[in-house]
Chains A and B, each alone.
Chain A
Amino acid sequence: MTEKAIRRWIDLANPTRFLALADAMLPWLLGAAVLTVAVGLAMGFAAPEDYQQGITVRIMYIHVPFAWLSMFCYTVMAASSLGTLVWRHPLADVSLKAAAPIGAVFTALALLTGSIWGKPMWGTWWVWDARLTSVFILFLMYLGIIALTRALDDFGRSARAAAILTLVGFINIPIIKFSVDWWNTLHQPASVFRLDGPTIHPSLLWPLMISAVGFTLLFLALHIMAMRAEIWRRRVITMRRLAARRAEGEAA
């Protein structure tokens, strides 16, 4: 059983197999993502308002999934870097490069929605609190990784470089997760994933969980789409190089 699973994982290393699988999976994944996000948001609008925050609590249904995905995406990238450095899986590098811009956008959206939520609740767009600052650093690191993956034109080199940078930057993820516990600042502490169970009422928790699952599916769909585009891009570049070499050979 496990051997079979490993076998299939290795089979995926063949980009053509991956492309076939991606083509087959993508419509379903995308459909499920849109459906789940729609259901989650609809439930979010049907859920009761918070007695203190009023209608602004509805921002939570997009803010929390974005924030959670900004960290999830980086974790996916760190796992891909391990795949590049340890197993030299040829698609791990594609996965890392494809995930970086998506993660940057999710992080930017998390910061933006948080800012819009913070204005009525905290009375300010931005505070230099531990959680906000560490997420902002995460955003900067995404941009740095994107810059590095685009700076080198050799795929192999850029893969290793980006993987090393991603792994070094992974230190930030636990800092973000625990920043609200270590430093007692303005951002509220964790209220969903706690050892003693969530402190948030089920009527608000369910829409939040469903919309989080929906956005995660959306991320996976976008990620596979971006990976597919990246594989195609590399094929085009390789074919162009071959064509150029052939033309040179004919000329000489």
Chain B
Amino acid sequence: MLALFLREIRLGVRAGSGALTGVLFFLAVVAVIPFGVGPDLNLLARIGPAILWIGALLASLLGLDRLFQADREDGSLDLLLMADSRHMLALTVFTKCVAHWTIGVLPLVLVAPMLGLFMNVPPLGLAAATLTLLAGTPAITFIGAVGAALTVVLPRGGLLVSVLILPLTIPVLIFGVAASRGAVADTDLFLPPFLILTALTLFFAVIGPVAAALALKGAAD
């Protein structure tokens, strides 16, 4: 599993992968919002965490369709499927998800505080938004793995993945934004939504890889 993880990381870091593109896309989405809603700093400070979350959600959907498709093209997906007897396929998918998250999504979380500064988000809100992103975005990757596995046989499944996945990620978004707002506002609480967010991540860490493994077995025949 460690070898697989390292392989995925190495493939991801090398040129031609979407890791850096995801960060750029995140930057672009967040930068476009102030043009849309106007440069009112008070308003931006209020909706800043929500913008960061939506940007991260869209950016992490971006590279998902390549999660299994690249492996399918060079045939290594069949090898992973055949190794099912030695390493459980769900565990393999889990490792791939973790690697994908480390390469594609962790950089987004790291640049999020900087982008939050542009939005005039107070330091406490920045810390909270980053923490919720760190806890919540793995859930998006795990849900996304199901969509990626379902559409792996489609030549142009990228758009379909987003359509299938977005409704399922809404609870993650709701509790992520609620927790980051709770850290700043006096009336809302931080801890309860944050704990639910963590629970969602753990829940999908189990459901996602199992369902994706089932889908991959169905796709290969």
Residue positions of A touching B, CB distance < 8 A: 85, 133, 137, 140-141, 143-144, 147-148, 151-152, 156-157, 160-161, 164-165, 167-169, 171-172, 175
Contact = CB atoms under 8 A, between A and B. Distances in A.
Given A144-B163, A152-B154, A164 B168 contact: no
B150 A161 contact: yes
B163 A168 contact: no
A147 B146 contact: no
Interface of B: 143, 146, 150-151, 153-154, 157, 160, 163-164, 166-168, 170-171, 207, 211, 214-215, 218-219, 221
Given A151-B151, A157-B153, A165 B214 contact: no
A164 B167 contact: no
A232 B163 CA distance: 29
Contacts of B171: 175
Nearest to B207: A168
A133 B171 CA distance: 11
Contacts of B218: 157, 160-161, 164
Q: Is the interface of A mostly helix, strand, loop or mixed?
A: helix
Contacts of A147: 160, 163-164
Q: Which of B143, B160, B164 has the most CB of A within 10 A?
A: B164
Nearest to A159: B218
A115 to B, nearest CB: 19
A169 B170 CA distance: 12
B168 A148 contact: no
A91 to B, nearest CB: 18
17 contacts: A85-B214, A137-B167, A137-B170, A143-B163, A144-B163, A147-B164, A148-B164, A151-B154, A157-B153, A157-B219, A157-B221, A160-B214, A161-B218, A164-B211, A164-B215, A165-B164, A168-B211
A98 B29 CA distance: 39
Given A148-B164, A151-B160, A164 B150 contact: yes
B181 to A, nearest CB: 15
Nearest to B220: A157
Contacts of B164: 144, 147-148, 165
A148 B150 contact: yes
A169 B167 contact: yes
